Chain A
Amino acid sequence: MKRIKAIVTLFAVLAMFLLPTAGLTAEASNPVTYSVKCLGNQWRYQANTSKFDEGYPHREVYYMLQEMKDGDIVVVYSESDSAPDLNLGSIKLSNLTVVTTAKHTIIFSGDITDAFILGNTSVSLNCNVTNGHVYDPAVASFNGNVQNLTLYKDGHNANTNISCAGVVDQYRLASMDGSYTYFQIYNFHEGKFQVMNGNVTTPDWAFSWNAPAAAAPTQAPAAAPAPQPQQPAQSAGQYDSVPKTGDSSMMIALLSAASLCMAGSFTLKRKAN
Chain B
Amino acid sequence: MVMNERKSKKNFFSKFLLIIAILCFLAAGALAVLYVRDYLATNRLIDGLKPSNDDGYVEVVPEVMPTATPGPTLEPTPEPTPEPVEHPYKEAFLQNADTAAWIQVPGTVIDYPVMWTPADEEYYLYRGFDKKKNQNGCLILDTDSCTNPLSTNLIIHGHNMKSGAMFGSLLKYDSVDYYNEHKNIILYTEDVQRNYEIVAVFRSQIYKTTDQVFKFYKFFNATTQEEFDDFYNNIKAMSLYDTGVTAEFGDNFITLATCTYHVTNGRFVVVAKEVSQGDRYLPITQ
Contacts and interface: CB of A to CB of B under 8 A. Distances in A.
A242 B157 contact: yes
B225 interface: no
A16 interface: no
A27 interface: no
Nearest to A158: B283
Interface in A221-266: 234-248, 250-251, 254-255, 257-262, 264-266
Interface string B260-277: 010001010000000000
A56 interface: no
Contacts of A254: 24-25, 27-28, 31
Interface stretch (A92-100, A142-150, A200-208): A200-208
Interface in B94-144: 94, 97, 99, 116, 118-119, 121-122, 125, 135, 137, 140
A148 B186 CA distance: 35
A50 B221 CA distance: 44
A200 B148 CA distance: 7
B15 interface: yes
Interface stretch (B194-202, B209-217, B233-241): B209-217
A66 interface: no
Contact of A247 (B11, B118, B161, B223): B161
B207 A240 contact: yes
A230 to B, nearest CB: 17
A246 B261 contact: yes
A181 interface: yes
A261 B18 contact: yes
B269 to A, nearest CB: 11
A269 B14 contact: yes
B30 to A, nearest CB: 9
A234 B31 CA distance: 37
Contacts of A155: 97
B24 A255 contact: yes
Nearest to B286: A157
A236 B149 contact: no
A62 interface: no
A210 B20 contact: no
Contact of A239 (B121, B148, B208): B208
A236 B259 CA distance: 22
Contacts of B258: 245
Contacts of A207: 149
Contacts of A250: 31
B223 A210 contact: yes
A258 to B, nearest CB: 3
**What class of interface size applies to chain A in its complex with B?**
35 or more
A239 B206 CA distance: 7
Contact of B10 (A157, A241, A268): A268
B172 interface: no
B167 interface: yes
B42 interface: no
Interface string B151-192: 100000111111000111000000000000000000000110
Closest 3 CB pairs of A and B: A258-B24, A261-B21, A272-B10
Interface of B: 6-7, 10-11, 13-18, 20-22, 24-25, 27-28, 31-32, 35, 93-94, 97, 99, 116, 118-119, 121-122, 125, 135, 137, 140, 146, 148-149, 151, 157-162, 166-168, 190-191, 206-210, 215, 217-218, 220-221, 223, 257-259, 261, 265, 267, 283-286
Interface of A: 154-157, 159, 175, 179-183, 185, 197, 199-200, 202, 204, 207-210, 234-248, 250-251, 254-255, 257-262, 264-266, 268-269, 271-272
17 contacts: A155-B97, A156-B99, A157-B283, A197-B283, A200-B149, A209-B223, A238-B209, A240-B207, A245-B159, A245-B257, A247-B159, A247-B161, A254-B27, A266-B14, A268-B13, A268-B17, A271-B10
